[in-house]
């Protein structure tokens, strides 16, 4: 009986110490904020344009649902050709679409569709891409996988469309 009384009193005393968090998960993300990191590695321009359009649609739908979207797009692999401005490195047949992709990235940054466009440094040398030719709207990161892992640690969902 005494033991039960001590447990009840302890529970009542500690009950006043419960704090209500302004976040709804272990990563500390505010409840109406949606964090997403897209990993883009496309070689072909048409699928990449489609993915960028879908990212924009996703953002619009999140806003309509009452969320604050925080979206990062990471470019790696052959998608690296589309974040740089030296069109001599892009196949002639893909140049018009490459310019369209760059216009989309530029508009996404200007209109805050995405909070960041990031280019992995690792594939650049293999593809003879010089960092100085990256679009000004794109941030060069030393390693795209490490950057994506850091975003996941901060509560971003990793999506490889």
For 33-159, the fitting CATH number among 3.40.50.1820, 3.10.450.50, 3.40.1260.10, 3.40.50.970 is 3.40.1260.10
Mean pLDDT score of the chain, rounded to an integer? 87
Average of per-residue pLDDT across 1-14 = 40
Share of the chain above pLDDT 70, in %: 81
Residue 22 pLDDT exceeds 70: no
Q: How does pLDDT run across 63-90, given as a tens digit for each residue?
A: 999 999 999 999 999 999 999 999 999 9
Strand, helix or coil at 124? Answer: coil
Looking at the DSSP bridge assignments, the partners of residue 117 are 73, 138
pLDDT at residue 13, rounded to an integer: 37
Enter the tokens of residue 16.
Answer: 């006043």
Predicted confidence at residue 29, as pLDDT, reads: 59
Per-residue confidence at 2, pLDDT binned at 50, 70, 90?
low
Q: Are 37 and 151 spatial neighbours (Cβ–Cβ below 8 Å)?
A: yes
Q: What tens digit of pLDDT does each residue of 84-97 get?
A: 999 999 999 999 99
Give me the pLDDT at residue 33, please: 94
pTM of the complete model: 0.80
């Amino acid at each position: 009986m005494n033991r039960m009384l001590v447990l009840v009193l302890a529970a009542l005393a500690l009950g006043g110490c419960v704090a209500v968090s302004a976040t709804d998960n272990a990563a500390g993300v505010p409840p109406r904020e949606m964090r997403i990191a897209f990993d883009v590695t496309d070689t072909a321009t048409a699928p990449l344009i489609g993915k960028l359009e879908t990212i924009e649609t996703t953002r619009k739908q999140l806003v309509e649902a009452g969320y604050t979207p925080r979206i990062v797009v990471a470019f790696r692999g052959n998608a690296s050709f589309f974040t740089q401005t030296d069109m001599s490195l892009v196949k002639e047949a893909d140049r018009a679409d490459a310019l369209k992709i760059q216009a989309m990235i530029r508009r996404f940054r200007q209109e805050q569709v995405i909070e960041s466009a990031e280019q992995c440094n690792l594939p650049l040398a293999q593809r003879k891409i010089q960092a100085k030719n990256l679009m000004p709207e794109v941030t060069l990161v030393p390693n795209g996988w490490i950057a994506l892992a850091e975003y996941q640690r901060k509560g971003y969902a990793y999506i490889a469309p």
